[in-house]
A and B are shown apart, each in its own frame.
Chain A
Amino acid sequence: EVQLVESGGGLVQPGGSLRLSCAASGFTFSNYWMSWVRQAPGKGLEWVANINQDGSEIYYLDSVKGRFTISRDNAKNSLFLQMNSLRAEDTAMYYCARIWNYGAGHYGMDVWGQGTTVTVSS
């Protein structure tokens, strides 16, 4: 079964750090771009970051640049999001997602985890 399982969320004070993990199974993880998407309580979806298959190409949402780092370990079938200098507005459910390349420049986030909750509060 193709599956993504996030972990590492929790309660952290403003200015603190957290490292989210996403364990992939059921597919060849190293073949895919991966993404982090977040959703603040009661709000819509917000794309956070993408990483290509070998980690050489990375894109970030402007508001997290310099604070968040996306990375991956293909040997361990794992995706990570290191979050530093956390702010109250980073409070959200964080989802990891697999990016499927349909060809001709078309992509879709076709597999999602169930998410891990990050709360930034004093």
Chain B
Amino acid sequence: EIVLTQSPGTLSLSPGEGATLSCRASQSVGSSYLGWYQQKPGQAPRLLIYGASRRATGIPDRFSGSGSGTDFTLTISRLEPEDLAVYYCQHYANSPWTFGQGTKVEIK
């Protein structure tokens, strides 16, 4: 089983600032078989990124992903109050698909 470890646990930033979220895999996730999800309070998750760097339909270009192998990053430029959420990485390289434990983004 591939274990995904996200850091930091919590980010507290002001509107307009940039956020960098990390996701590290216990083994390679192959050809960047990794996605990112956003879960706002009281809501279901939403797909942001697939293939490590490809934005899903309707996702603003403030969200970008990068990385390969075992190290991945989600960058949120120009934070907006609506970006308050928990962000999860998830791999689909093999079964079981696993999620990271999440990074909570707080807006000051």
| A112/B101 in contact, CB under 8 A | no
Task: Check: A41 CB closer than 8 A to any chain B CB.
Answer: no
Using Cβ atoms and an 8 Å threshold, which residues of chain A touch B95? 50, 59
Interface SS majority for chain A = strand
Task: Check: B88 CB closer than 8 A to any chain A CB.
Answer: yes
| A46/B45 in contact, CB under 8 A | no
Task: Check: B72 CB closer than 8 A to any chain A CB.
Answer: no
Contact pick for A95, options B45, B51, B54, CB 8 Å: B45
Binding site for B on A (CB under 8 A): 35, 37, 44-47, 50, 59-62, 95, 100, 102, 104-110, 112-115
Q: Which of B10-18, B20-28, B30-38, B74-82 contacts A (4 or more CB under 8 A)?
A: B30-38
Task: Check: B92 CB closer than 8 A to any chain A CB.
Answer: yes
Using Cβ atoms and an 8 Å threshold, which residues of chain A touch B88? 44-45
| A44/B33 in contact, CB under 8 A | no
How far apart are the CA atoms of A79 and B50 in the complex, in Å? 24
| B47/A114 in contact, CB under 8 A | no
Using Cβ atoms and an 8 Å threshold, which residues of chain A touch B35? 107-109
28 interchain pairs, CB-CB under 8 A: A44-B99, A44-B100, A44-B101, A45-B37, A45-B39, A45-B90, A47-B96, A47-B99, A50-B95, A50-B97, A95-B45, A102-B51, A102-B54, A104-B31, A104-B51, A105-B30, A105-B31, A106-B50, A106-B51, A107-B33, A107-B35, A108-B35, A108-B50, A108-B56, A109-B35, A109-B45, A113-B44, A115-B44
